Structure 1
Amino acid sequence: MLELYQFELSQYSEKVRLILDFKGLEYRKIEVTPGIGQVDLFRMTGQRQVPVLKDGSRFIVDSTEIAKYLDAHYPEKPLIPVEPKQRGLCLMMEEWADESIGIKGRKALFSAISQDRDFRTSLLPSSIPDIFKTLVGEVPSDFLNVLGSGVGYSADAVNRAMADLKQDLEALTLILSDSPYLCGEEPTLADFAVAGLSILLKFPDAAYLELPSQILGKGVPGIADNPAYAPFFQWRDRLYNDYRKPIIGISTPTSGDRPTSIQIE
């Protein structure tokens, strides 16, 4: 069985999960513990970032490379068109989504959780004791803003990201106004990249992710609740409904419904 080394809330991991589900491939999720778990991942693959796909004895790193690998080795239900113009458009849009929605979405979510205590604590793993969740919730927003500035998430950077994301969503909504998919009549890698990377802007409203039920369908204020972008998120949710395998209804933990934590020997 394929194994996906991941972070549950990583948009790039979600992009790969969506692709695997679209292709109908069985896989096991292995949750990498930030920090120490990444050391073990580096020991196996030579790099610390997720997602990483293991197929037999082979490790494939980076969500784009994983998509290309899956198309080459599991060609049923192809992701990348053959026709030159559609192929070029698909690859260009996928790269754009990685660099735009993927990166800016993190900044937008950071802004949302720094301002909303309940939203912040809801995103913490269920395994964390309530006392620590309470401590995280009581961290002042001003402190989080200072912390964010140290990693490039200053107020100005977040505002620019929000403005760019709104323009991106407007453009995507226009593209999809007379087309079922971004590159034509069939779903491609571009669709799964855009859809998967958008989860931090607005979480899907069904149990596709390990998230508390109270935040399903919620997201970044000004984006998730903006009626101008409702057609985009409706398109995204239809794509999920058609192709993403929900957690509910999967009978056993070993069949891929809950992540397995990576351990250090």
Structure 2
Amino acid sequence: MLELYQFELSQYSEKVRLILDYKGLEYRKIEVTPGVGQVELYRLTGQRQVPVLRDGSRYIADSTEIAKYLDLQYPARPLIPTDPKKRGLCLMMEEWADESIGIKGRKALFSAISQNQNFRKSLLPRATPDVLKSLVEGVPNDLLKVLGFGVGYSPDAIRSAIADLKQDLEALTLLLADSPYLVGDEPTLADFAVAGLSILLKFPNAVYLNLPETIIGKGVPELADNLLYQPFFTWRDRLYAQYRRPLLSYTTTGGSSAPTSINID
């Protein structure tokens, strides 16, 4: 069985999970513990970042490379068009989504959790002990903002990211106004990249992640609750309903409702 080394809240991991579900491939999620788990992952793959896909003895890092690998090894339900123009547009939009929605979405989410303690608590996995949830909820908002400076998430950087994301969502809403998908009449890698990476802006309207159900439909203020972008999120949730397997449909042997901890031999 395929194994996906991941962070549950990583939108790049979610991009791969969406692709795996679209292709109908069974896989096991392995949650990498930040720090020690990443060291173990580096020992095997030379890569500390997730997602990493294991297929037999092969390890494939990076969500884009994983998508290309899956298209070659499991060609049913292809992700990348063969038509030259559609292929070029698909690859360009996927790269844009990675660099824009992916990176800026993290800054926007940081802004949301630094202002809302309940939202912050809701992002913890379901199995998180109550005492840890209380500690996380109790972190002062001002302290989080100070920590944000240390990772490049200053107020100015966050405002700029949110402004850019508003333009991104407007553009996507316009592109999808009279088309079922971003590139032609069939879903492609561009659709799954945009949809998966957008989860940090507004979480889908069903249980797809190992997070409390209270997170469903919640997201970044100014983005998740803006009626101008609602057509995009409606499209995204429809794509999820079509192709993403809800968490409750998994069993412990064919995919997993909750990821196991990393355990590398």
Give CA-to-partner distance per residue, 1:212-233, whole Å, 9 cap, x none.
0111111111111111100000
Match of 2:39 in 1: 39
Output the amino acid matched with 1:90: C
Match of 2:260 in 1: 260
Aligned-pair CA distance for 1:256:
1.3
Aligned-pair CA distance for 1:264:
6.4
Match of 2:236 in 1: 236
TM-score (norm 2): 0.97
Give matches, 1:1-265, under 5 Å: 1-250=1-250, 252-257=251-256, 258-263=258-263
Aligned-pair CA distance for 1:133:
1.8
SS in 1 for 2:82: coil
CA distance in 1, matches of 2:117, 2:137: 5
Give CA-to-partner distance per residue, 1:65-106, whole Å, 9 cap, x none.
000000011111110001111000000000000000000000
- Which runs of 5 or more residues in structure 2 are unaligned? none
**Higher deviation after alignment, 173-182 or 131-140:** 131-140
- Which runs of 5 or more residues in structure 1 are unaligned? none
CA distance in 2, matches of 1:42, 1:254: 27
Is residue 18–residue 196 contact of structure 1 (8 Å, CA) maintained in 2?
yes
Is residue 126–residue 210 contact of structure 2 (8 Å, CA) maintained in 1?
no
SS in 2 for 1:53: strand
CA distance in 2, matches of 1:180, 1:119: 32
Is residue 203–residue 219 contact of structure 2 (8 Å, CA) maintained in 1?
yes
Output the amino acid matched with 2:158: V
Aligned-pair CA distance for 1:126:
3.0
Runs of 4+ in 1 over 4 A off after TM superposition: none
Is residue 125–residue 212 contact of structure 2 (8 Å, CA) maintained in 1?
no
Q: Identity, % of aligned pairs?
A: 75
CA distance in 2, matches of 1:30, 1:131: 24
Aligned-pair CA distance for 1:247:
1.0
SS in 2 for 1:177: coil
SS in 2 for 1:24: coil
**Higher deviation after alignment, 123-132 or 34-43:** 123-132
CA distance in 1, matches of 2:47, 2:227: 41
SS in 2 for 1:145: helix
Aligned-pair CA distance for 1:254:
2.5
SS in 1 for 2:160: helix
Is residue 42–residue 48 contact of structure 2 (8 Å, CA) maintained in 1?
yes
Give CA-to-partner distance per residue, 1:112-159, whole Å, 9 cap, x none.
000000011111233332222222212111111110011000000000
Aligned-pair CA distance for 1:255:
1.7
RMSD: 1.0
